[in-house]
Homo-oligomer: A and B are copies of this chain.
Amino acid sequence: MTKQLVANVFEMNTPGHITHGLWRQPDNQRERYTQIEYWIELARLAEAGGFDAIFLADVIGAYDVYDDDFAPAVRRGLQIPNNDPMLLIPAMAAVTEHIGFGVTFSTTYEPPFAFARRMSTLDHLTKGRVGWNIVTSYLPNAARNFGLAEEIEHDLRYEIAAEYMEVLYKLWEGSWDDDAVLVDKPGDLYADPSKVRRIDHVGRHFRVAGPHLSEPSPQRTPLLFQASASRAGIAFAAQHAEVLFTADRPAGALAANIASIREAAVAAGRRPDDTRFLVMATVIVGRTEEEARAKLERYRGYRDAEGAFVHMSVPFHPLQHPDDITVREALEREGRHDVVARGGLPLHLTVGAFRRAVDEAWDERFLAVGTPEQVADTIEHWLDVDGIDGINLRQYHSFETVRDFAELAAPELRRRGRLRESYRPGETLRERIFGEGARLPERHRAARYRGGAGL
């Protein structure tokens, strides 16, 4: 069977997400992100274009490593200012019927009980169109915003995240039986309390009594997204994630990245097709190749090279050094002996090579430019040769990127059977991506709590 593309719009509730400098285009709409009208317009466009979902990134701190200050990020609107992503979903759900929503939320700083209810609420309001991008956070400033002196160490974050998931599964899958809610008015019985139970979770990091406050929602557990390449991240993904963001980093490693997660998931009792893989991708499409190339050049003319270093928390100034000295020398010239001692940066690289590596990390391994036919060729190659299942479409321009994809790329992809013809009415996001039920399959670890088993 021809593999169809999963196509998400990649967004964030901020002026500068992942296209550094591009907010400055005169007719770009990014600065309207505070307005509900921006999101209503985006949601309608994306649904008219047949996208699967709008995927919302998030951070809960400021990037403040470059220059040892948040100023370079604030100046650029680079993920600061930002607003809460979850609160966009009801506004977009109010004006759409089909498109899904993925939202990023960290397991590190906020209590699971409140989050469980928020996601159940979204699953109800959207009729099962919601997904959660599980992150554990990585910004030092985020830790300091939540009372901690420094970021919790990586493996401990994943340990906390693992317990967080169990609490959520107990609440979402185990606390209310499917048939608990009766709405029996003559019988004076809204819900049958014998089918509702506390979870009484007592763990190393959390104590949660329950019962879950929300009645059963269409998906119960929202569709689970995750991005991670670390060892702890892969072990976690194997247990939990349904849709994964991955990348071709180091170059050429994409297939291995996908295979290793899939293997680990199978070892955890899941099936090979229980996980799907997305990459961030850029699609620049025109009516002619020249038009597309001109568009790309126009976008690139706004690119802000320094923004990438701010975003990647680079603790020195790569643009201020000659190409041919090493990163170690550059750090030493800036007096950052602490960074040299700590390691973590490729000290042996030349500054020129480091700059190119950063450029490549931001750009454009998954870049399709050209006519509808040309970008469809490229996307088919991603699907069939690279082995991915879908993309998070990076926006170079709001709303040109989404509109171009919808008007020019999508019809050609449909012609080739690479994109759904239409939405199936009433389907949940999980059904759309996996083609099976609204709920997690029985072989997922969340299912063990159903009916109150294992509580």
Contact = CB atoms under 8 A, between A and B. Distances in A.
Interface stretch (A138-146, A246-254, A414-422): A138-146
A1 interface: no
A147 B207 contact: yes
B208 A83 contact: no
A81 B213 contact: yes
Contacts of A122: 87
A370 interface: no
A70 B16 contact: no
B24 A188 contact: yes
Nearest to A207: B147
Contacts of A207: 144, 147-148
B217 A77 contact: no
A111 interface: yes
How many monomers of this protein are in the complex? 2
Given A60-B113, A125-B87, A75 B190 contact: yes
A161 B86 CA distance: 25
Contacts of A121: 13, 83-84, 87
Interface residues on A, range: 35 or more
Contacts of A117: 60, 82-84
Most chain B CB neighbours (cut-off 10 Å) among A124, A176, A207: A124
A146 B111 contact: yes
Most chain B CB neighbours (cut-off 10 Å) among A74, A145, A198, A304: A145
Contacts of A82: 117, 213-214
Interface string A132-162: 0000000001001111100000000000000
B124 A83 contact: yes
A87 B120 CA distance: 11
A110 B113 CA distance: 10
9 contacts: A23-B185, A40-B94, A60-B114, A61-B213, A74-B192, A81-B214, A87-B125, A89-B90, A144-B209
